[in-house]
Amino acid sequence: MTLPYDATPKFQDYARPEMLVSTGWVAEHLGDPGLVVAESDEDVLLYETGHIPGAVKLDWHTELNDPVTRDYVDGAGFARLMSEKGIGRDTTLVIYGDRNNWWAAYALWVATLFGHPDVRLLDGGRAKWIAEGRPLSTETPDRPRADYPVVERDDSQIRAFRDDVLAHLGQPMIDVRSPGEYSGELLHMPDYPQEGALRGGHIPGAQNVPWARAAAEDATFRPRKELEAIYGGEAGLSPADDVVVYCRIGERSSHTWFVLHHLLGFPTVRNYDGSWTEWGNSVRVPITQGDKP
């Protein structure tokens, strides 16, 4: 059962307005059967400090990742996770989180690998919900277990691997990291040195558009015209392009993937989740340093 779409005028300008809901929409539909709201944060304890009433927690580090192989959970693992959270295949899943929905967009991208039919982002995420003085709860909801089917992950459409990127050299690519990481001055994201790379720089040909440029001050997505000015005007992308996006481990670039694919309607956008922590450690792959593609 699919919940109604949010008719917020700003969303109607985007290529796929149905991918977003507003805080008002969530407030109105909280508790509706068929809806599960999930919080996905960078900080693993933030949910415990208070979340949207009834929301479940979805953590990338501990739940969406395979604990051994550098990969996401498989079909059986995803089915188990969704079932435990009370999410069925026909559930409308609305994800929100901290930091401009950075990790929420990542969770949405992973859910898309499994083809979850109806998954949306709460525009503005946790910050906007709180800024509007809306209620928070520290109660963990006791949702009845669902029976999510085992659906194998499809990595062929929205995910790129290292060899795919090697074959893609010369075609449009967006590096969404900070300018310092892009140029090679920094081997890690400012303030985040845990995931190292042996070499600094970027994949030849990739343009640098830091991911957070797509977010406004209130953590919502910028209106379509502004996004077009950034990705079309400045970066020169056109919707017909086959685009690969990457960052450090694929989380920030999920946000840009969402913008290009769902908000601007580019049909072919793949997220290279190996990203710089793979490329910058790989032997004999080409690297460009400096602030030019």
Partner 1 sequence: MTTTLNPRLQDIVDEFGAVPGQEKLQLLLEFSDELPPLPARYAEHRDLLEPVPECQSPLFLAVEVADDGTAHLFFDAPREAPTTRGFAGILATALDGLSAAEILATPAEFTTQLGLSDLVSPLRLRGMAAMLARIKRQIQKQQAA
Catalytic site positions? 247
**Residue 179 or 267: which CB sits closer to partner 1?**
179
**Measured between alpha carbons, how far is 109 from 113 in angstroms, rounded to an integer?**
6
Q: Which stretch binds partner 1 (CB under 8 A): 42-50, 72-80, 208-216, 281-289?
A: 42-50
| Other CB atoms within 10 Å distance of the CB of residue 241 | 18
Number of residues in the chain: 293
**Residue 23 or 92: which CB sits closer to partner 1?**
23
Residues in contact with partner 1, total (CB under 8 A)?
Answer: 18
Contact call for residue 70 and partner 1 (CB under 8 A): no
- Can you list the alpha helix ranges (DSSP code H) found in 54-189? 75-85, 102-113, 125-131, 162-168, 179-183
Q: Which stretch binds partner 1 (CB under 8 A): 30-38, 45-53, 73-81, 232-240?
A: 45-53
**Residue 172 or 250: which CB sits closer to partner 1?**
250
Structure-token pair, residue 132:
């509007």
Nearest to 87 by CA among 40, 61, 119: 119
**Residue 61 or 143: which CB sits closer to partner 1?**
61
Cβ of residue 254: shortest distance to partner 1, in angstroms?
A: 17
Structure-token pair, residue 7:
């008719």
- With beta carbons less than 8 A apart as the criterion, state whether 188 and 156 touch: no
Contact call for residue 190 and partner 1 (CB under 8 A): yes
DSSP element (H, E) containing 46? helix 46-49
Cβ of residue 97: shortest distance to partner 1, in angstroms?
A: 12
**Residue 48 or 152: which CB sits closer to partner 1?**
48
Task: Identify the residue among 45, 68, 198, 240 touching partner 1 (CB under 8 A).
Answer: 45
Contact call for residue 155 and partner 1 (CB under 8 A): no
Task: Identify the residue among 46, 146, 169, 212 touching partner 1 (CB under 8 A).
Answer: 46
Q: Which stretch binds partner 1 (CB under 8 A): 24-32, 46-54, 165-173, 239-247?
A: 46-54
Nearest to 170 by CA among 281, 244, 255, 280: 244
**Residue 6 or 41: which CB sits closer to partner 1?**
41
Cβ of residue 67: shortest distance to partner 1, in angstroms?
A: 8
The 115-144 contact track toward partner 1, x by CB under 8 A, reads: -------------------------x----
Contact call for residue 49 and partner 1 (CB under 8 A): yes
Q: Which amino acid is at 220?
A: T
Cβ of residue 152: shortest distance to partner 1, in angstroms?
A: 25
Strand partners, 84: none
Contacts with partner 1 by CB under 8 A lie at 42-46, 48-49, 59, 61-62, 98, 140, 190-195
